[in-house]
């Protein structure tokens, strides 16, 4: 019973911590450019973290301190910026954070593992730019080295070249789904068959030539 009460207390505090971030965006939405890439990226990361730590599993207890919230936020931000495939990897990343959080809290682990020791020291330190960067880099290094977290990188190219579009158009002068004819190679949408955000390659073998309507469907 006491354990359950403790979990509820931690969960309530943690949800409030993450909720405060959402409330900030809501309170200041008139002063923020909600169409800006920075705003959209921040919202995406917050939503992603909710999937990594579902409230129903009590996962927010691992983000009950502001230093941990910020460190994990910057971890996801860095992985996304470096083009790692994050879609569908919520459980892996959540499990890694839970395990790392547990090990950081154990003196034996800190004595035997340099990442645990350095992270523990950093969360007890300041909020300087250097310390924040150090926390992030420790997490990134530890996660990418973890056997259970074999993250793939997305294709560095998001769009095919003009030459590739011309070649595809020569083979597909009509929409591959509905048969609509195109005027020239600049009219179609060149759509990833396997989505780029899910690891699909930006290569002619993974591109479909579609009209606007079929591309939106």
* pLDDT tens digits along 127-181: 899 999 999 999 999 999 999 888 988 888 889 999 999 999 999 999 999 999 9
Q: Is the pLDDT of residue 5 over 60?
A: no
Same-domain status, 127 and 206: no
For residues 85-93, give the mean pLDDT.
Answer: 92
Same-domain status, 28 and 64: yes
Task: Give me the number of domains the chain comprises.
Answer: 2
Same-domain status, 10 and 101: yes
**In this predicted structure, what is the pLDDT of residue 24?**
67
Confirm whether 150 is domain-assigned.
Answer: no
Confirm whether 188 is domain-assigned.
Answer: yes
Confirm whether 43 is domain-assigned.
Answer: yes
Same-domain status, 24 and 78: yes
Confirm whether 101 is domain-assigned.
Answer: yes
For residues 107-118, give the mean pLDDT.
Answer: 95
Scan for tokens 């190679």, then name that residue: 185
Question: Which H or E run includes 215?
Answer: helix 212-216
Higher-confidence position of 183 and 28: 183
**In this predicted structure, what is the pLDDT of residue 158?**
85
Same-domain status, 173 and 141: no
Same-domain status, 45 and 97: yes
Same-domain status, 99 and 196: no
Confirm whether 154 is domain-assigned.
Answer: no
Dihedral sign from CA coordinates of 153, 158, 163, 168: positive
Structural domain boundaries enclosing 140: 2-145
Cβ proximity of 77 and 135 under 8 Å: no
Confirm whether 11 is domain-assigned.
Answer: yes
Measured distance CA(210)–CA(194) in Å, rounded = 14
**In this predicted structure, what is the pLDDT of residue 161?**
93
Q: Is the pLDDT of residue 11 over 50?
A: no
Same-domain status, 67 and 136: yes
Residues in Cβ contact with 89 at an 8 Å cutoff, skipping those fewer than 6 apart? 149, 151
Same-domain status, 70 and 167: no
Confirm whether 157 is domain-assigned.
Answer: no
Within 10 A of 79 (CB to CB), how many other CB atoms are there? 23
Q: Is the pLDDT of residue 195 over 50?
A: yes
**In this predicted structure, what is the pLDDT of residue 150?**
87
Confirm whether 151 is domain-assigned.
Answer: no
Torsion of CA 37, 38, 41, 42, to 10 degrees: -150
Cβ proximity of 62 and 49 under 8 Å: no
Q: How far is CA 165 from CA 2, 7, 131, 160, 173, in A?
A: 64, 56, 46, 7, 11
Same-domain status, 11 and 93: yes
Copy the structure tokens of residue 88: 């569908």
Same-domain status, 58 and 135: yes
Average pLDDT, the chain: 84
Question: Which H or E run includes 68?
Answer: helix 66-81
The full length of the chain comes to 217
Same-domain status, 28 and 98: yes
Q: Which of 115, 145, 175 corresponds to the end of one domain?
A: 145
């Amino acid at each position: 019973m006491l354990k359950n009460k403790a979990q509820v207390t931690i969960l309530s505090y943690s949800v409030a911590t993450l909720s405060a971030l959402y409330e900030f965006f809501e309170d200041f939405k008139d002063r923020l450019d909600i169409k800006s890439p920075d705003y959209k990226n921040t919202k995406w990361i917050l939503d992603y973290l909710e999937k990594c730590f579902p409230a129903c599993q009590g996962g927010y207890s691992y983000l009950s301190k502001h230093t941990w919230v910020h460190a994990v936020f910057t971890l996801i931000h860095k992985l996304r910026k470096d083009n790692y495939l994050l879609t569908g990897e919520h459980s892996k990343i959540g499990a890694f954070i839970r395990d790392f959080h547990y090990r950081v809290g154990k003196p034996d682990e800190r004595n035997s593992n340099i990442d645990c020791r350095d992270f523990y020291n950093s969360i007890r330190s300041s909020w300087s730019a250097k310390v924040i960067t150090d926390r992030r880099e420790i997490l990134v290094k530890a996660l990418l080295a973890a056997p259970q977290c074999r993250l793939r990188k997305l294709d560095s190219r998001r769009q095919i070249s003009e030459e590739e579009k011309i070649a595809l158009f020569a083979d597909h002068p009509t929409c591959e789904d509905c048969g609509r004819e195109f005027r020239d190679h600049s009219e179609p949408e060149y759509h990833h068959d396997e989505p780029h955000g899910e690891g699909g390659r930006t290569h002619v073998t993974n591109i479909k030539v579609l009209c606007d309507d079929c591309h939106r469907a």
